[in-house]
């Protein structure tokens, strides 16, 4: 059943043919709105951080005008953050952006943000990001900055001037692009909040004149990719930067700008509000404002083209899905595996829609690669290009099939039956151990003049008893590629499912990605009987186990390798040595008795008490050691040991002091 299911699946499901997935749709916008609202709820509460509130409110603004309540929430966050004692430059930047864009009207908070930004500029900013924060804070609040304060920020542009398109400012590509983009934004903001000194003008001009080179590096050479964590931030700042500084469309290449837009659009399935802001902000600037050339993308309407109406339809759109009229669309088509490209002529079918016919190209059924490029009005430059895989699909027909049962030894035909599609056998055909069933048929593909070989042409036999299935691929004749033959008998069945006999349902199936519909023709019943298991013949074989049976079958026992036990001596030897090691104790006892050791010198009176307690303490310690050895852990032993040690120490000190004093007195 599983095999049958897999076969049907491959027959019925065509390959996933590539369609462009570059353009932002209304569904994508809904998904982004859901991401934002899932974080904040409809009230717009993004938490107490000014940074989170900035990205949240920015995204909501880009998705549509913010509600009054939402504005109130983010304004409160900005004011609260600026009122705190520990306001840093980054916090002031995000809070000021909120104050500026949401129109909060909190003069006190604005003054605090201005104070932080001016203080940062006057003390000398130490990084391009800090400079950007300081200058942008003042610009968002509509304040001005003295030329001297701006100097420290503008001096940093000298560094970027040297990188000019090579983005050397930082070792990482995305961070490097962010730094360069911050440079553009500093230059733009500096013009708004003050005057750029003449000493800085060459650096600013040089930086801005390098924008096309930076774009080429970033877009053309795969400088940025989704693999970079900061790529979204970098691209968005770059788009913001060029939008803020460019005039006369910056002489930017639209196809390169399209690469940047593609990167942004490809990241639209975001997981965070910050990323949602970056994607929306970048794409909005590329599609809405008049300052930047609007990049376009080409979409394929359908990847499956019927041979009865062989037309390829494409749409030229901007990255928000709006159709864009261009001068024209040109393209070519080629077989996927072989080159030999044939030109396609696209005809305009309304605003942004173009159609090319494949008829007359003599390309036959199958999958093809279609290259398409959009040509801009005026400059006649290619502004977008794409390659699609397109399937030219047709119908398959098998008008007739012939089923023949032949003896395998004499080749004598026992039974022959011809069927016209979709007729079935009226009576089961008998196939025994000495005969074979041959199915012959001719396929045709109406409307296709080119040779075409379907990927799957086979006969299946399904047991009515067990449901087990036998598959036999049909072979095409060499001289006539559309004539197929499939031969099967009891031996074929035995190889695949064991010696299962009885009635089988025979089916002819033909499928291919270039066929609009698979052909499935039930041919009728076939009665199969295997050789009887007599003397000297092998017993009927069991059908091979299915995948499910194999999975649930017992696994081979795992033999664990244990460490080999050490060689041990006989118990008697160990016992003998145990007794032997006790003999020195005997020696000690004898020797001590020889020496006349006794306890006559044991102190009396108070000293005796101390001496007894001291010896009792020592004995207790030894008993504790024994208990430790038998059951206690080291940590558990330490506490009672400490107590006993203190007791023994004190009593020992007292007993030995008495003893020492007695000795001294005696002397």
Partner 1 sequence: MDSVTNRIHDFKSNASIIVKSFNSEYKKTPLRIKVIDAFIVYALLTAAIQFLYMLCVGTFPFNSFLSGFFCSLGFFVLSVSLRMQVDPSSTEFKGLLPERAYADFVFCGCLLFLVVWNFMG
The footprint of partner 1 on this chain (CB under 8 A) covers a number of residues equal to 36
Please say which residue, 4 or 650, places its beta carbon nearer to partner 1: 650
> Pick from 326, 337, 340, 304: which is nearest to 373 by CA?
326
Smallest separation, CB 594 to partner 1 (Å): 9
Encoded one letter per residue, x for contact with partner 1 by CB under 8 A and - for no contact, window 511-550 reads ----------------------------------------
Residue position matching structure tokens 């800090």: 130
Smallest separation, CB 659 to partner 1 (Å): 5
Please say which residue, 555 or 567, places its beta carbon nearer to partner 1: 567
* Dihedral Cα 20, 21, 23, 24, nearest 10 deg: 160
**Whole-angstrom Cα Rg for the chain:** 45
Smallest separation, CB 85 to partner 1 (Å): 56
Smallest separation, CB 549 to partner 1 (Å): 50
- Paired with 437 in beta bridges are 405, 488
* Dihedral Cα 71, 72, 75, 80, nearest 10 deg: -150
Binding segment (CB under 8 A) for partner 1, from list 94-102, 316-324, 506-514, 565-573: 565-573
Please say which residue, 413 or 573, places its beta carbon nearer to partner 1: 573
What the block records as the tokens of 435 is 């005969």
Candidates 12, 195, 289, 657; binder of partner 1 (CB under 8 A) is: 657
Please say which residue, 25 or 609, places its beta carbon nearer to partner 1: 609
Please say which residue, 547 or 587, places its beta carbon nearer to partner 1: 587
Candidates 645, 647, 650, 654; binder of partner 1 (CB under 8 A) is: 645
Lay out the sheet containing 400-407: strands in order across.
413-420, 400-407, 435-442, 483-488, 475-476
Please say which residue, 225 or 657, places its beta carbon nearer to partner 1: 657
Please say which residue, 533 or 619, places its beta carbon nearer to partner 1: 619
What is the b/e burial string over 164-187, where b = at least 16 CB atoms within 10 angstroms of the residue's CB? Answer: bbebebeeebbbbbbbbbbbbbbb
Candidates 339, 535, 551, 629; binder of partner 1 (CB under 8 A) is: 629
What the block records as the tokens of 570 is 């006989």
List strand residue ranges (DSSP E) for 32-161, in order. Answer: none
Candidates 567, 600, 665, 666; binder of partner 1 (CB under 8 A) is: 567
Cα–Cα distance measured from residue 437 to residue 419, given in angstroms and rounded to the nearest whole number: 15
Helix/strand/coil for 548: helix
- Paired with 525 in beta bridges are 505
Smallest separation, CB 90 to partner 1 (Å): 57
Binding segment (CB under 8 A) for partner 1, from list 191-199, 308-316, 439-447, 563-571: 563-571
Candidates 31, 37, 516, 656; binder of partner 1 (CB under 8 A) is: 656
Candidates 68, 560, 563, 568; binder of partner 1 (CB under 8 A) is: 568
Ramachandran category for residue 332: left, alpha or beta (phi over 0 → left; psi -120 to 50 → alpha): beta
Please say which residue, 420 or 581, places its beta carbon nearer to partner 1: 581
Encoded one letter per residue, x for contact with partner 1 by CB under 8 A and - for no contact, window 470-489 reads --------------------
Smallest separation, CB 552 to partner 1 (Å): 46
Cis (ω within 30 of 0) for the bond into 422?
Answer: yes
Smallest separation, CB 562 to partner 1 (Å): 17
Pairing of strands 429-431, 519-528: parallel
Please say which residue, 71 or 658, places its beta carbon nearer to partner 1: 658
Smallest separation, CB 634 to partner 1 (Å): 6
- Paired with 372 in beta bridges are 331, 386
Please say which residue, 477 or 597, places its beta carbon nearer to partner 1: 597
Cα–Cα distance measured from residue 525 to residue 417, given in angstroms and rounded to the nearest whole number: 12
* Type and span of the H or E element at 328: strand 328-335
Smallest separation, CB 657 to partner 1 (Å): 7
What the block records as the tokens of 94 is 């995000």
Answer for the pair 459, 439: CB distance below 8 angstroms, yes or no.
Answer: yes
Smallest separation, CB 605 to partner 1 (Å): 17
Cα–Cα distance measured from residue 483 to residue 67, given in angstroms and rounded to the nearest whole number: 71
Smallest separation, CB 600 to partner 1 (Å): 12
Please say which residue, 159 or 654, places its beta carbon nearer to partner 1: 654
CA 477 vs CA 65, 160, 407, 511: distances in Å: 69, 71, 22, 18
Count CA within 13 A, CB hemisphere, residue 176: 19
Please say which residue, 15 or 649, places its beta carbon nearer to partner 1: 649
Please say which residue, 508 or 655, places its beta carbon nearer to partner 1: 655
Site for partner 1 in 569-628 (CB under 8 A): 569, 573-574, 577, 580-581, 583-585, 587-588, 591-592, 595-597, 618, 621-622, 625-626, 628
Helix/strand/coil for 346: strand
* Dihedral Cα 574, 576, 582, 584, nearest 10 deg: -120
Please say which residue, 6 or 597, places its beta carbon nearer to partner 1: 597
Smallest separation, CB 560 to partner 1 (Å): 23
Cα–Cα distance measured from residue 167 to residue 163, given in angstroms and rounded to the nearest whole number: 5
* Type and span of the H or E element at 374: strand 366-375
Smallest separation, CB 561 to partner 1 (Å): 21
Count CA within 13 A, CB hemisphere, residue 61: 18
Give yes or no for residue 652 binding partner 1 (CB under 8 A).
yes
Smallest separation, CB 550 to partner 1 (Å): 47
Pairing of strands 353-357, 328-335: unpaired
Helix/strand/coil for 322: coil
Interface positions with partner 1 (CB under 8 A):
566-569, 573-574, 577, 580-581, 583-585, 587-588, 591-592, 595-597, 618, 621-622, 625-626, 628-629, 634, 641, 645, 652-653, 656-657, 659-660, 663
């Amino acid at each position: 059943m599983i095999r049958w299911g897999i076969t049907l699946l491959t027959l019925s499901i065509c390959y996933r043919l590539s369609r462009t997935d570059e353009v932002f749709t209304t569904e994508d916008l809904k998904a982004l709105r859901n991401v934002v609202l899932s974080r904040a709820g409809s009230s717009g509460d993004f938490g107490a951080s000014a940074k989170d509130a900035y990205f949240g409110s920015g995204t909501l603004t880009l998705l549509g005008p913010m509600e009054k309540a939402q504005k109130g929430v983010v304004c409160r966050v900005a004011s609260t953050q600026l009122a705190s004692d520990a306001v840093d430059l980054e916090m002031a930047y995000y809070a000021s952006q909120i104050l500026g864009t949401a129109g909060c009207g909190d003069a006190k908070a604005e003054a605090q943000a201005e104070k932080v930004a001016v203080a940062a500029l006057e003390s000398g900013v130490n990084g391009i990001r800090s400079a950007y924060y300081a200058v942008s804070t003042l610009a968002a609040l509509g304040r001005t900055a003295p030329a001297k304060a701006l100097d420290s920020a503008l001096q940093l542009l000298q560094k970027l001037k040297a990188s000019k398109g090579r983005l050397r400012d930082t070792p990482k590509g995305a961070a490097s692009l962010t730094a360069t983009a911050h440079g553009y934004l500093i230059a733009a903001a500096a013009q708004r909040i003050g005057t750029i000194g003449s000493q800085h003008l060459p650096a600013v001009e040089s930086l801005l004149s390098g924008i096309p080179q930076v774009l080429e590096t970033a877009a053309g050479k795969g400088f940025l990719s989704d693999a970079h964590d900061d790529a979204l931030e970098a691209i968005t700042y770059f788009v913001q930067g060029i939008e803020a500084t460019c005039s006369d469309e910056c002489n930017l290449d639209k196809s390169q700008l399209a690469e940047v837009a593609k990167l942004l659009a490809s990241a639209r399935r975001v997981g965070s509000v910050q990323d949602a802001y970056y994607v929306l902000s970048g794409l909005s600037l590329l599609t809405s404002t008049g300052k930047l050339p609007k990049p376009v993308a080409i979409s394929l309407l359908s990847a499956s083209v019927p041979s009865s109406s062989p037309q390829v339809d494409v749409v030229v759109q901007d990255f928000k899905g709006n159709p864009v009229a261009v001068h024209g669309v040109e393209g070519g088509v080629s077989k996927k595996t072989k080159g030999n490209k044939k030109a396609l002529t696209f005809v305009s079918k309304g605003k942004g829609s173009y159609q090319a016919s494949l008829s007359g190209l003599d390309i036959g059924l199958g999958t093809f690669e279609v290259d398409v490029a959009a040509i801009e009005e005026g400059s006649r430059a290619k502004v977008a290009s794409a390659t699609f895989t397109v399937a030219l699909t047709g119908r398959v027909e098998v008008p007739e099939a012939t089923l023949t049962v032949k003896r395998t030894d004499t080749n004598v035909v026992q039974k022959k039956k011809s069927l016209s599609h979709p007729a079935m056998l009226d009576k089961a055909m008998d196939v025994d151990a000495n005969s074979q069933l041959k199915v012959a048929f001719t396929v045709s593909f109406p409307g296709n003049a080119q040779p075409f070989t379907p990927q799957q042409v086979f006969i299946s036999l399904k047991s009515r008893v067990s449901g087990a299935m036998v598959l036999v691929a049909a072979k095409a004749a060499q001289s006539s590629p559309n004539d197929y033959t499939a031969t099967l008998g009891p031996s074929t069945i035995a190889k695949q499912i064991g010696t299962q006999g009885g009635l089988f349902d025979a089916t002819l199936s033909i499928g291919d990605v270039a066929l609009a519909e698979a052909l499935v023709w039930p041919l009728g019943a076939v009665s199969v009987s295997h050789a009887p298991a007599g003397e000297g013949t092998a017993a009927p074989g069991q059908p091979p186990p299915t995948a499910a049976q194999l999975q649930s079958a017992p696994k081979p026992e795992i033999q664990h390798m244990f460490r080999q036990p050490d060689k041990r001596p006989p118990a008697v030897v160990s016992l003998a040595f145990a007794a032997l090691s006790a003999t020195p104790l005997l020696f000690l006892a004898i020797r001590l008795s020889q020496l006349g050791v006794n306890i006559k010198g044991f102190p009396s009176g108070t000293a005796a008490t101390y001496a007894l307690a001291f010896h009792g303490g020592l004995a207790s310690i030894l008993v504790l050691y024994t208990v430790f050895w038998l059951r206690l852990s080291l940590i558990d032993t330490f506490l009672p040991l400490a107590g006993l040690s203190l007791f023994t120490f004190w009593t020992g000190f007292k007993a030995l002091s008495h003893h020492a004093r007695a000795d001294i007195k005696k002397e």
